[in-house]
A and B are shown apart, each in its own frame.
Chain A
Amino acid sequence: MTALADINLEIADQQFITIVGASGCGKSTLLNLLAGFDAATSGEMTVDGAPVAGPGPDRGVVFQQTALFPWLSVEENIAFGLRLRANRHKGSLEIVVERLLKRTGLMAFRSRRPAELSGGMRQRAAIASVLAINPSTLLMDEPFGALDALTRSIMQDFLLEVWEEERKTALLVTHDIDEAIYLADRTVVMTARPGRVREIIDVDLPRPRRYEMRSEKSFIALRDHVTGIVREEAIKGAMEIAA
């Protein structure tokens, strides 16, 4: 079964790209390919000119299901990557950990275990653990999918703040259309299975983004446009499964 077909996507340095589509459209598959967890049956992928061959610390992945080691404290989780031999050269562990604890507001929770944190705090810790290894690209697979609406919107602002500071190339997969537009420079809308790029939308809202922008006309127009396509594709996908 083909999950993805004819994907041709170029992502500029330091851009924030979101990928949105109905569930089952292969958007997570695309991210897994970029991360190097899966291999494509055909085609090629390059990051900074080099072909993707397996996962590596140049591409940091934030997972939907928070990837924190339950036996490590928050600060040990953040330090995890830097303790690996592959990242030993990446600067002082203490300084990086302190900076990220402060940045994520987790200073008071540094010695807590993941099970003692709220969902939002856990995802902030997971983002910190990825930022610690200083990847050039951030790949995020529905990172806020498991959070409640309020925490989710707070986390989106947190992510944007961090991104403005660190200016990494970011690719975020989501089924939340508001989220896709709010975060992105460009939003890639996918078709139903097999996933193709249906449309790439330039989001020319000013940065830094603010929560209130969601009620502005330009935002609403973009959202309605994207919603229209995603709905149409979702229905098409459902019909195909029924047939």
Chain B
Amino acid sequence: MAAPDQTWAASAGRATSGRSLALSAQYAVFPAALLVAWQACAQIGFVRRSVLPAPTDVALVWFDLITGATDAAARYSGTWLDHAAASTWRVFAGFAWGIALGILTGLLIGLSRVMERVLDPTVQVLRNIPVTAWVPLSLVFFGIGNAPAVFLIGLGAFFPAAVNTTHGVRQINVTLTKAARMMGADERELLVRVILPGALPSIMTGVRLSMGIAWVLVVVAEILAVRSGLGYLLNDAYLFYRNDVVIAAMLSIGILGFISDRIVVVVRDRLLEWNRLETFSGQN
């Protein structure tokens, strides 16, 4: 009696492991192809190895950057953690104040027509000034150091958070706010129980964009305004003609940015589990 069940279970097990293998392949195929193409280009020698180092060269330098074990990265040997920590700290500090103020501003504009008239034109004009255009003034005001970096990153994070929060508030179904009022909700209850959860999908979209911009701006800030961080490392290595270190720094920024984005996505999915039932989530 037990035999058929066992066969079934065994074949089902095989099927799932085969399936998860196929899924891993879907993730791996494109990056692997890129690496192979890059390695081939570098090895064929169209361009000098010092101009376009191969992935294997970058890997060796990167290893030394992190561990300081081989001296392959020379003057940068073993400095990775300090730079990465400096950049990450700036990103999260700027991101934190930027989205906090952005969400608050977006709520004010979204909730009140008066606040919309008072604040929104200014926000819309300032939003169109590239944050990089703020670099000279922020250096004049804050000098060299963390302050201008955190200022620029926060400024960049502010706008997506503000604009998307306003949008989120304004697209809440009016039947829900009517229903809450009908049941006797006061202003605070309306905000906490209806507006904030209703606007949250859009707020989280803004927060995710803010995080992306934060990693862009940390590099800009570190090239121009600070003497530490992965952006500084990248620029300094460029001046010393170490393209292998430049690429290792670039990939480090990409990976840290990716991890930061994943953190935002995980938080978002935790908060918005309900929203997946209501929206299209792609086909398998």
Query: Does B associate with A?
Result: yes
A interface residue numbers (CB < 8 A to B): 35-37, 54-57, 59-61, 63, 65-67, 69-72, 80-81, 83-87, 113, 115-116, 129-130, 133
Q: Which of B160-190 contact A (CB under 8 A)?
A: 173, 175-176, 178-186, 189
Residues in B neighbouring A56, C-beta threshold 8 A: 182, 184
Residues in B neighbouring A55, C-beta threshold 8 A: 178, 181-182
Q: Which residue of A lies closest to B278 (CB)?
A: A115
Q: Which residue of B lies closest to A69 (CB)?
A: B176
Residues in A neighbouring B183, C-beta threshold 8 A: 57, 60, 80-81, 84, 86-87, 129-130, 133
A86/B185 contact (C-beta < 8 A), A67-B175, A70-B278 known = yes
A181 → chain B closest CB, angstroms: 27
18 A–B contacts from the bound complex (CB under 8 Å): A35-B178, A35-B182, A37-B182, A54-B181, A57-B183, A59-B182, A65-B175, A66-B175, A69-B193, A69-B194, A70-B275, A70-B277, A70-B278, A83-B193, A84-B185, A86-B186, A113-B274, A129-B179
A63 to B182, CA, bound (A): 11
Residues in B neighbouring A81, C-beta threshold 8 A: 183-184
Secondary structure type dominating chain A contacts: loop
Residues in A neighbouring B200, C-beta threshold 8 A: 71
Residues in A neighbouring B198, C-beta threshold 8 A: 69, 71
Secondary structure type dominating chain B contacts: helix
A86/B178 contact (C-beta < 8 A), A70-B274, A80-B193, A115-B277 known = no
Contact A61 B178 (CB under 8 A): yes
A207 → chain B closest CB, angstroms: 28
A112 → chain B closest CB, angstroms: 9
Residues in A neighbouring B186, C-beta threshold 8 A: 84-86
**Which of B184, B197, B277 interacts with A69 by CB under 8 Å?**
B197
Q: Which residue of B lies closest to A81 (CB)?
A: B183
A83 to B274, CA, bound (A): 20
A83 to B183, CA, bound (A): 10
Contact B184 A63 (CB under 8 A): no
Residues in A neighbouring B173, C-beta threshold 8 A: 65
Interface bin, chain B: 20 to 34
A32 to B272, CA, bound (A): 32
A243 to B275, CA, bound (A): 47
A41 to B238, CA, bound (A): 72
A88 to B100, CA, bound (A): 32
A65 to B176, CA, bound (A): 10
Q: Which residue of A lies closest to B277 (CB)?
A: A115
**Nearest 7 CB-CB pairings of A with B:** A86-B184, A67-B179, A115-B277, A81-B183, A57-B184, A71-B274, A55-B182
Q: Which residue of B lies closest to A139 (CB)?
A: B182
A232 to B193, CA, bound (A): 46
Residues in B neighbouring A129, C-beta threshold 8 A: 179, 183
A80 to B184, CA, bound (A): 10
Contact A57 B277 (CB under 8 A): no
Residues in B neighbouring A84, C-beta threshold 8 A: 183-186, 189, 193
**Which of B176, B184, B189 interacts with A67 by CB under 8 Å?**
B176
A55 to B184, CA, bound (A): 7
**Which of B182, B194, B272 interacts with A57 by CB under 8 Å?**
B182
With contacts A61-B182, A67-B178, A71-B197 known, what are 16 further pairs, Cβ within 8 A?
A35-B182, A37-B182, A54-B181, A57-B182, A60-B182, A69-B176, A69-B197, A70-B275, A71-B200, A71-B274, A72-B274, A80-B193, A81-B183, A84-B186, A115-B274, A116-B277
Q: Which residue of A lies closest to B185 (CB)?
A: A84
Residues in A neighbouring B274, C-beta threshold 8 A: 70-72, 113, 115
A66 to B178, CA, bound (A): 11
B275 → chain A closest CB, angstroms: 8
A35 to B179, CA, bound (A): 10
Contact B184 A133 (CB under 8 A): yes
A2 → chain B closest CB, angstroms: 23
B274 → chain A closest CB, angstroms: 4
